[in-house]
Amino acid sequence: MSLAAPVHESLEEEDLPKVSGYVSARERGFRTAASRWRSAGARLDRFAGAVFILPAVLVILAFSIFPLLASLYVSLARLSFSEGGVELKFVGFDNYAKLLVGIDHVHFLGLAGPLTPVSVAVLLAGAALIAFWLYRYSRDQARSVGGFAGRIVVALGAGTLLWLVVTTVMSSGRPGTLVVTVVYVGVDVTVQYLLGLGLALLVVQHLPGRRFFRVVFLLPMMITPVGVAYLFRMLTDTSKGPLYPLWVRFGLTDVSWVTNPWGARLAVMIGDVWQWTPFIFIVLLAAIETLPHELVEAAVVDGANRWQVFWRITFPLILPASSTVVLIRLIEGFKIVDLPNVLTNGGPGTATESLTLHAYTIWRALDIGGSAAVAYMLLIVVTFVGVSYVNLFRRRVTAMA
């Protein structure tokens, strides 16, 4: 308790205002405190807020701060071999400069191709969209200086990412690991969400045998990611894999898909979708199962069809759970490593390399500092995406619910 008390003071729970009942219960507890036991219980109740949250806060604190600081320091240093061992030499922002403008920038950011009419059009359209979005916020009743500043940061970040993606992907350039990772995450999370939602809606219907499908659909998630990666390597093998007849049919046995950058990326994305659709599926399924039936029934009585029931009732009510599961998948998706590593070894060239794999390959080459710098860049990108997502989308969704 001595440890918990000072931290609790800083938490300063304001009398649990959300549940008015708690307060009255506590008052009763004090009033009728006939025994010492009762009043001790009442005192413990007062700390309920701290008791509920402190274990988690302490565990996460203990395990996030030290690694975070240590790897920040490492990202600013270079490992060098000296007499009698190794030492970390402080080099400032050298590791970051190497990634952004130095020798590793083609690997990390990619190589921009010449602009084509199509890519210019896409860029202009994107810029116009962002500008319109900012303009609309500036006309909003609830606008604030902070909100506007945050949106400008988001606009700049999103614009930079769009520019990177368009110039390296659409203009016959070469996408770097950053762009490849963004593409993986964007495609994977979208496809997984749509599939997961569709499957969840299918199995909540009262169809005979639905419980069988529920369990079957969960299976891919349960295989260890390394195992899934090897499994897909086995399945996509063009000479021994089960799809051999297909490869023969399309004349692809010799031009193995592993030599085609987009073919290889597609294989990685298919593997990721296969493995992680169940995650979204089960979260949404549980969310739909806990919805009160009355709402749907009332709507049906009022003559709503299935489409209307879905868009007006089910979908808005599962939006909070959806936004959570999408956030988790976004964060986890950015860390994709096993599939590209095992399936294609990052190849052809570095075409399928994700950021984490990039960090890992540098790490294996004993450039610990450079590896930590890649990891920190990943952290910055994920934080940017995560914070924007939470502030612009999730908060609104949960406020609505």
CB of 48 closer than 8 Å to CB of 16:
yes
- 83/85 Cα distance (integer angstroms): 6
Applying CB under 8 A, which of residues 168, 171, 350, 356 lies at the interface with other proteins? Answer: 356
Paired residues of 90 in beta bridges:
77
- CA separation (Å) from 274 to 56, 108, 259, 277? 32, 27, 22, 6
Q: Answer yes or no whether residue 289 interacts with other proteins by CB under 8 A.
A: yes
- 128/118 Cα distance (integer angstroms): 15
Nearest residue (CB) to other proteins, 4 versus 127: 4
Q: How far is the CB of 129 from other proteins (least distance, A)?
A: 26
Specify the stretch interacting with other proteins by CB under 8 A; choose among 90-98, 120-128, 133-141, 384-392: 384-392
Applying CB under 8 A, which of residues 104, 188, 272, 338 lies at the interface with other proteins? Answer: 338
CB of 105 closer than 8 Å to CB of 174:
no
Q: How far is the CB of 298 from other proteins (least distance, A)?
A: 6
Applying CB under 8 A, which of residues 297, 311, 312, 396 lies at the interface with other proteins? Answer: 297
Give all strands (DSSP E) within 116-206, no chain letters. 174-175
Task: Report which of 247, 219, 221 is spatially closest to residue 235, judged by C-alpha positions.
Answer: 247
Under the phi-then-psi rule, with left for phi > 0, alpha for psi from -120 to 50, and beta for the rest, what region is 76? alpha
Total site size for other proteins, rule CB under 8 A: 129
Task: Report which of 264, 256, 120, 274 is spatially closest to residue 188, judged by C-alpha positions.
Answer: 274
3-state secondary structure of 80: strand
Q: How far is the CB of 41 from other proteins (least distance, A)?
A: 6
Nearest residue (CB) to other proteins, 112 versus 325: 325
Q: Which of residues 222-261 bind other proteins (CB under 8 A)?
A: 222-227, 230-235, 239-245
Q: How far is the CB of 130 from other proteins (least distance, A)?
A: 24
Q: Answer yes or no whether residue 123 interacts with other proteins by CB under 8 A.
A: no
Binding mask 39-58 for other proteins (x = CB under 8 A): --x--xx--xx-xxx-xxx-
Specify the stretch interacting with other proteins by CB under 8 A; choose among 100-108, 165-173, 211-219, 256-264: 211-219
Q: How far is the CB of 371 from other proteins (least distance, A)?
A: 7
